[in-house]
Structure 1
């Protein structure tokens, strides 16, 4: 099981931040050797683009297409939309991250910054099954 948080700087568009957070999460899961992945996010636009079989030609297309390229690595990967309110742990970690300039990783534990939130996963999983709950914020 693992968790990660990355700084995202100089991006004003929240859909771009969501797509970038998803890319970083997928890279993290790849590096940890996960095989079956569920990616959840609160950006309906990013999730729809990730579900589409078409090559994305929008402003965030470069990020979306990189994520799609990485999906071949996993035995299975699913992209799910979840409402903003269901993403409390991700938002707690994102709020904490706003003041940091480096990436942070947790292994085999829940981030202490999110312990007060009832839900216990931000980017978590096991080598067979995993789940990403990502969110972004402006820096």
Structure 2
């Protein structure tokens, strides 16, 4: 019976997509712009959240990176919004010129792109980011998958080992350098 079925319905060849096609890599910003990637992660077992931020130029060179441990907020979206706030405040602290902000939370990026007020539970954070943008030159907000945001993601993992916040200028910590060298995020 199976043989009759396969004769009538021949198998359709399945094309496996290569890992490189399905895994987006970090894309550099246009020349003269910077890109700030952010990520947030929840660690319920320790009742903490962690934030990671990395600033790079159009050549992929790191201008600054940050890892921070915070108390556990009420939702993962709120953690991502807090990471976006941290990205913008780092940009302001460093007096950065024009930049693009990129993260892997579609919800947060979508709310940042909207002109109308966010009604989300983290809407006050979106409002504060937009307020900060009056003082700096954010060109746009961009969404990427985690594979295109891996340096910021690994910085969130590193935040487990710090007490509060750590900032590295023109570098990333050694534990994250391998991710940066691979060029995937």
Q: Shorter chain as normaliser: what TM range?
A: 0.7 to 0.9
Tell me the distance in 1 between the aligned counterparts of 2:70 and 2:79.
Answer: 7
1:81 aligns with 2:179: no
Show structure 2 runs of 5+ residues with no match.
1-62
Question: What is aligned with 2:130?
Answer: 68
**In structure 1, the residue corresponding to 2:72 is in which secondary structure?**
coil
> Where does residue 8 of structure 1 map in the other structure?
70
Alignment partner of 2:69: what SS? coil
- TM-score normalised by structure 2 residue count: 0.61
Deviation at 1:12, TM superposition (A): 4.5
Please state how far the C-alpha of 1:120 moved relative to its aligned partner.
8.2
Alpha-carbon offset, residue 75 of structure 1: 2.8
- In the alignment, is residue 119 of structure 1 matched against residue 183 of structure 2? yes
TM-score (norm 1): 0.80
2:137 aligned with 1:58: no
Q: Is the 8 A contact 1:110 1:120 kept in 2?
A: no
- Whole-angstrom CA distance in 1 between matches of 2:162 and 2:71: 11
**1:107 and 2:107 equivalent?**
no
In the alignment, does 2:83 pair up with 1:47? no
- 1:96 positional shift: 1.4
Alignment length (residue pairs)? 121
* Superimposed CA distance per residue, residues 14-69 of structure 1 (whole angstroms, 9 cap, x where no aligned partner): 11111101101100110110121111000000000000001112200010100011
Could you tell me whether the CA contact under 8 Å between 1:6 and 1:103 is conserved in 2? yes
1:18 match = 80
Aligned partner of residue 116 in structure 1, secondary structure: helix
Q: Is the 8 A contact 2:100 2:139 kept in 1?
A: yes
C-alpha RMSD of matched pairs (Å): 1.6
Q: Give the whole-Å Cα distance in 2 for the aligned partners of 1:12 and 1:95.
A: 19
Higher Rg:
2
Q: Which whole-Å CA distance do the structure 2 matches of 1:78 and 1:24 have between them?
A: 16
